[in-house]
Amino acid sequence: MRMSRAFGNTLREVPGEADTASHQLLLRAGFVDQLMAGVYSWMPLGWRTKRRVEAIIREEMDAAGAQEVHLPALQPVELWEQSGRKQALGEVLFQLMDRRERGLALGPTHEEVATRLFADHTSSYRDLPVTLYQVQTKFRDEARPRGGLVRVREFTMKDAYSFDADDAGLDESYRAMFEAYRRIFDRCGVPTVPVEADSGAIGGKGSQEFIFLTDTGEDTIVLCDTCDYAANTEKAEFIRPPAAPEDPLPLEPVDTPGATTIEALAALLDVPAAKTAKAVFFMAMARPGAASHPAASAVAAASAERDTPVFAVVRGDLEVNEIKLSNALDGRALRPMTDAEVSEHGLVAGYASPIDAPSHVLVVADLSIPDSPNLVAGANQEGTHLRNVNYGRDWTAAIVADIALAQAGHRCPRCAEGEAGGTLRTARGIEMGHVFRLDYTYTKPMDVTVSGADGQQVTPTMGCYGIGLDRLVAAAVEQHHDERGITWPASIAPYDVHLVGLGLTRDAEVAADAERLYEELRAAGLDVLFDDRDESPGVKFNDADLIGIPMRLTVSSRNHKAGVVEVQRRAEGEAEQVARGEVVARLPSAASGGAAPTHMQ
Ligand SMILES: [Zn+2]
C-alpha cells in the first residue's frame, strides 16, 4: 500500500476521551475511529490487524476440529424467553420490533441459536461430538462503555459451541478449546493467565477466563503466591481466618450509641472486627417463573415471584461478595436496600439483628458465621448491640453459603494448610476469553435430545467458548508499545514491512530504486506499507514508529550511493546497513508465519 494513497491519517494530538495507552495509540495511529460511545469503525490499518487475528483464530479452531458456521445477529426474542435469559440479561439485550410487531433481539451471544441449529440437524449420538464456531458481530447495551475497545456495545466475537453425548466427551471438547485458546493468545502476543470464573448470565457448571494482566483492567483477579490457583474475585474461594473455639456465653445487651459501623463498634467495645457480625441489606429482584428454572433451590425459588428483602450476614472482618450472594439466590439480580426500605422491612440501620428477623426477610449467612462463637450483633434497637450471639442457639439463616469476598492476605483455598502454604494477592486484568462447561443449561430447557446407543433418547451436554477480537487487539497494543508508538508482534501487524523512501521527489534515481524494492518485497510475498509521501524524514519516521510495523526499511540518496538499505526492527536493536542486493533475502520470509516469534511470558 502506498501511503500517498492510503485512507486515514495519523494524529499528533492525544484524543481527549482516550485514557488507556491502547485506546490513545489505536486512535492516533489511525487504526480505529469512534462513531459513538462504545461503537467504533475499523480503519484500513486496524482492519488488517483484526483480520490477521481472525486468521489465527480460524487456524486454531479448524485445527481443534471445530467447524465454522455463521449465525444470524437478528434473532426472535422468543428464543431468549424460552431459555430464561431475556430476564437475566435485562437491559444489556438490544430489543426491537419488526413491522409485524414481532419482538426481535440483536444477539449478545449465540447459545440459543446454536442449540436450535444443532437440534434441527442432529438426531443420533453417532453425529457427536460436534463443535461449531463463528466470527460474528455481537451487540450489548453496556451501561458504561469504556476503555476504548475493551467494553463496547458492538464488537466481534469468536464464539464456539460443543455438543457431546456425555461428561467425558465434554471434558475432551473443553480441553481441546482450552488448549486452542492458549495457542491463540500466545500467537497474538498477549500473555494470559487462566483463572476460575463466575459463569454469570451464560450459566453452567463452571468456567475459566483467560485474563491479560494490566493495571488498566476492570476485573480483579486473585492469585496464590505459592501454587497456580487463580480466580476472578467474583468467584475466588479462600480459607476464612479461623475463630478461636469458645463455649457459648449468655446473651448480653450492651449500649453502643453511635456505633453504626463495624469499625466504630469494634473500637467502642475493644474487640477485633472478627468478633462481630456484619449485616448488609439488599433487594433481590423478582424473577417470575424462576421456580420452574432447573437450577432453582427451594428456598430461593419460593421468594422469586416478587422483590425480596435480603439480610446478608458475614463476619465483621469480611466483606459481602454480591456475585456469590446472587448465585446463592439462583442468580437473581441484587441492589442495595434504600434507607426507607430498611425501616419499611422492620430493620434498624446500624443495629439490625439476625435474631428474630422479620419472617418475610430472607436471611443469608456466610460460611464464617456458624463457626464463629460469641459474636457481637445488632439488637434491632437504636443504640444497642448484643454480645455472645451464637448461630444455631440464637438464630439460623434460610441459606448458609459462601458469600464472602476473597481479599489480598487471605489464605489459598488450594494449597494452604495450617500455617503452611500460600497467601492470596490481587491483580487487575482484562478478560480475553471465557470457556464454559454449560452442561445441560440450554439443552434441557430447549428439549434437545438425540438417540443414544441403546435407542433411548439422551440429552447432549454442551460447552461454549468465546474470544472478543476487538479487546484482543487492544490488549496486544497494551502489551506491545513504547513512548513512540505501537510495537506490533509480527503475527498480527497490519504489514510485514514499512518501506520509507526519503527525498523521492528530489532524486529520480532513488525514487526508481525505491519503486523497484517495493516490487521485489511484494514479489517475495511480503505485505508492504510504502511511505512514498512528500514529507520530511522526521514526519515519516514518527509515523513509522507510531504505526509500529515490525520491520522498517529506509531508502535514501545517501544509502543509495553507498549501495545499502537501512534495516531497523521497530521493537529493538540498532539500525543495520544491508547491501541493496541482499536485503530481500535477509528479511524474515513472507507474512505472519515466518517472522520472528514474539516474546512470551
Ligand atoms: Zn495456593
The residues spanned by each domain of the chain are 21-216+429-477, 252-401, 488-594
- Which option is the CATH number for 252-401: 3.60.21.10, 3.90.960.10, 3.40.50.2000, 3.30.465.10? 3.90.960.10
C-alpha 190 to ligand 1 mean position (Å): 24
C-alpha 471 to ligand 1 mean position (Å): 29
C-alpha 418 to ligand 1 mean position (Å): 13
- CATH for the stretch 488-594: 3.40.50.800
C-alpha 424 to ligand 1 mean position (Å): 7
C-alpha 230 to ligand 1 mean position (Å): 8
C-alpha 135 to ligand 1 mean position (Å): 36
Q: Give the three cell numbers for residue 426.
A: 490481587
CA distance 273 to 372: 12
C-alpha 185 to ligand 1 mean position (Å): 25
C-alpha 408 to ligand 1 mean position (Å): 13
C-alpha 229 to ligand 1 mean position (Å): 5
C-alpha 223 to ligand 1 mean position (Å): 8
The pTM of this model reads: 0.87
C-alpha 420 to ligand 1 mean position (Å): 10
The per-residue pLDDT for 19 is 83
What DSSP designation does 462 have? E
Can you give the three-state secondary structure of 466-499, one letter per residue? EEEHHHHHHHHHHHCEECCEECCCHHHCCCCEEE
The per-residue pLDDT for 589 is 64
The per-residue pLDDT for 601 is 33
pLDDT under 70: residue ranges of the chain? 147, 288-302, 589-601
C-alpha 232 to ligand 1 mean position (Å): 14
Which residues touch 578 (CB under 8 Å, ≥6 apart)? 564, 565, 566, 567, 586
C-alpha 235 to ligand 1 mean position (Å): 15
The per-residue pLDDT for 590 is 47
C-alpha 417 to ligand 1 mean position (Å): 10
C-alpha 227 to ligand 1 mean position (Å): 4
C-alpha 415 to ligand 1 mean position (Å): 4
CA distance 290 to 307: 12
Same fold, 21-216+429-477 and 488-594: no
Q: Is the dihedral of CA 504, 505, 510, 515 positive or negative?
A: positive
- Asked if 195 and 424 count as a contact pair (C-beta separation under 8 A), the reply is no
C-alpha 315 to ligand 1 mean position (Å): 23
The per-residue pLDDT for 301 is 61
- What residues are paired with 197 via a beta bridge? 207
Smallest CA-to-CA distance from 552 within 581, 524, 529, 579 is with 529
The per-residue pLDDT for 300 is 62
Q: Give the three cell numbers for residue 558.
A: 545517501
C-alpha 356 to ligand 1 mean position (Å): 40
- Is CATH 3.40.50.300 the classification given to domain 21-216+429-477? no
C-alpha 178 to ligand 1 mean position (Å): 22
